[in-house]
Amino acid sequence: MLHHYHANSLDNIYLEDIPHIIHPDYAARDLADTTLPNRNIQEWNLPQDYSHFVSQYHPFHWQRPWMAYRDTLDDIRSGKVVLLKKKHDRPCFNGRADVLRQPPK
C-alpha cells in the first residue's frame, strides 16, 4: 500500500504537510524489503517520486542497484526524505501541488 504515499524532501514540505508525515520508523519498516539483494522491485507499489530519490544514488551503485534503495532508505531513517499521505484536497498543476488556484473574486 505504499503507492498511497508521496516521497518528498524535508526541505520541500509546507507547514500544512506536517500532520501527514509518516513516522520514519514505520516508513523504513515498510520499505525494508526494497533493500534486499536480488530483489525484484515493484515500482508501481512504491511511493510517488520515490524513484527520483533512488535515481540520485544509481551512478554510485550501477553494479548493485539495490544499494541505491538502501541509501534512500537511510535518508528516510535520518529524516532527509519523508513520506506523506497523499491528499486529494490540494489541486495539482503539472504534478506540482504547491501551485494553488486563486479564489474567484
- pLDDT tens-digit profile of 9-60? 999 989 998 999 999 999 999 888 888 887 787 888 889 999 999 999 989 8
Question: Is pLDDT at 65 greater than 80 in this prediction?
Answer: yes
Q: In this structure, what DSSP letter does residue 5 have?
A: E
pLDDT at 96 over 70: no
| Total of domains in the chain | 1
25 DSSP assignment: H
Instruction: Report yes or no on whether pTM surpasses 0.95.
Output: no
Kindly write down the DSSP assignment for every residue of 59-104, as one continuous string.
TT-SS-THHHHHHHHHHHHHTSEEEEE--SSS--BTTBTT-PPPPP
Q: How confident is the model at residue 89 (pLDDT cuts 50, 70, 90)?
A: low
* Residue 90 belongs to a domain: no
Q: What value does the CA radius of gyration of the chain take, rounded to a whole number of Å?
A: 15
Does 12 fall in a domain?
yes
Q: Is the pLDDT of residue 100 over 50?
A: no
* 26 within a domain of the structure (yes/no): yes
78 falls within a domain: yes
| Contact in structure between 96 and 49 (CB atoms under 8 Å) | no
Domain assignment present for residue 47? The answer is: yes
Domain membership of residue 98 (yes or no) is no
Domain with 77, as residue range(s), is: 5-85
End-to-end CA gap in the chain: 40
